[in-house]
Amino acid sequence: MEFVTLSMGSTLPIVGSGTNTFGKVDRNYMGEINGDTTELKDAITLGYRHFDTAISYRNEAVVGKAVKESGLPRSEFFLTTKIPGKEEYTANEAAVRRGVEESLAALDTSYIDLYLIHHPWDNLAEIPGVWRVLEEYVDQGILKEIGVSNFDEKELGHLLEHARIRPAVNQIESHPGKWNDGIISYSLENQVIPEAWGPLTRVSDEAQEALSAIGTNYNKTWAQIILRYQIERGVVVIPKSHNKERQALNLEIFDFELTEDERKIIASL
């Protein structure tokens, strides 16, 4: 595993696992929570330590349960969760605190490694107020790092102007057909680590064919080529799979490097 260092000094595994359909009936995002930790335990056995959840996913408790069931120390894990950018959680300081405490209780932990604002909202002037509450939790050591998700250049720039603690991460959609190069470059320029959600989603047949052709040079799958491309350009990835074999493959991306020509082909997809 490789790591990146975040703004407050934490080390983040560059490959993690999304969880938004874990612990749910029929593995459906909107499915009822059933508490099943099978996929999480498989991932932990394979070596995953970085897991990404959110209040909106409703399954923070499932992630916390898997961590407990693993028998490993809490310090072995890097847990990310997110507070919704909704008035229920952002209206005032008390609302923000309720969200943080809700996450702590659900994850059954005394601290959270990375806490994100899940998405921005129209009134940018309100976001720094929410951020200041999160900064106070960093001061207390309860939130180790704080960041944002789905912020564009304008939204991230506004927060950077008003933040005392620089956002550690900007988690954004990034995959073939929507690499989101602009916000990735802007984030990196401002020392905010870009993190790709859904890195293996919405990949066209044409893109898969081109990626698979590159993969033959390294005995790698099209999915592994995507993940390798992302980490080579400084993007953390959180692929998600319910299949243990594919979970394993998503970690096997550290034994090769793409050529400049290959990166140009991938960037054009």
For 144-164, the pLDDT digits (tens) are: 999 999 999 999 999 999 999
How many CA within 13 A on the CB side of residue 92?
A: 1
SS3 content of the chain, % helix, strand, coil (to 5): 45, 20, 35
For residues 15 and 230, what is the distance between their CA atoms, to the nearest angstrom? 10
Catalytic residue ranges: 57
pLDDT tens track, the chain, 269 positions = 999 999 999 999 999 999 999 999 999 999 999 999 999 999 999 999 999 999 999 999 999 999 999 999 999 999 999 999 999 999 999 999 999 999 999 999 999 999 999 999 999 999 999 999 999 999 999 999 999 999 999 999 999 999 999 999 999 999 999 999 999 999 999 999 999 999 999 999 999 999 999 999 999 999 999 999 999 999 999 999 999 999 999 999 999 999 999 999 999 99
Residue 253 falls inside a structural domain: no
Task: Give me the number of domains the chain comprises.
Answer: 1
Residue 182 falls inside a structural domain: yes
What is the reported pLDDT for 60? 98
Residue 215 tokens, joined: 């993969």
Does the model's pTM come out above 0.75? Answer: yes
Residue 216 falls inside a structural domain: no
Digit-coded pLDDT (tens) for 64-110: 999 999 999 999 999 999 999 999 999 999 999 999 999 999 999 99
What is each CA distance from 178 to 82, 184, 195, in whole angstroms?
A: 23, 11, 14
Sign of the CA dihedral with 103 first, then 3, 137, and 160 last = negative
For residues 239 and 171, what is the distance between their CA atoms, to the nearest angstrom? 13
CATH of the domain at 74: 3.20.20.100
Single-letter amino acid, residue 190: N
Residue 32 falls inside a structural domain: yes
Instruction: Specify burial of residue 252 (Cβ count, 10 A radius: 0-12, 13-18, 19+).
Output: middle
For residues 53 and 58, what is the distance between their CA atoms, to the nearest angstrom? 9
Widest CA span of the chain, in angstroms?
55
For residues 144 and 65, what is the distance between their CA atoms, to the nearest angstrom? 21
Residue 137 falls inside a structural domain: yes
What is the reported pLDDT for 37? 98
Residue 250 falls inside a structural domain: no
| Nearest-10 Cα torsion for 28, 32, 36, 39 | 20
Query: Range of 149's domain?
Result: 3-202+236-243
Residue 213 falls inside a structural domain: no
What is the reported pLDDT for 142? 98
Residue 267 falls inside a structural domain: no
Residues 124 and 88: beta-carbon distance below 8 Å: no
What is each CA distance from 236 to 7, 79, 168, in whole angstroms?
A: 15, 14, 12
Residues 204 and 178: beta-carbon distance below 8 Å: no
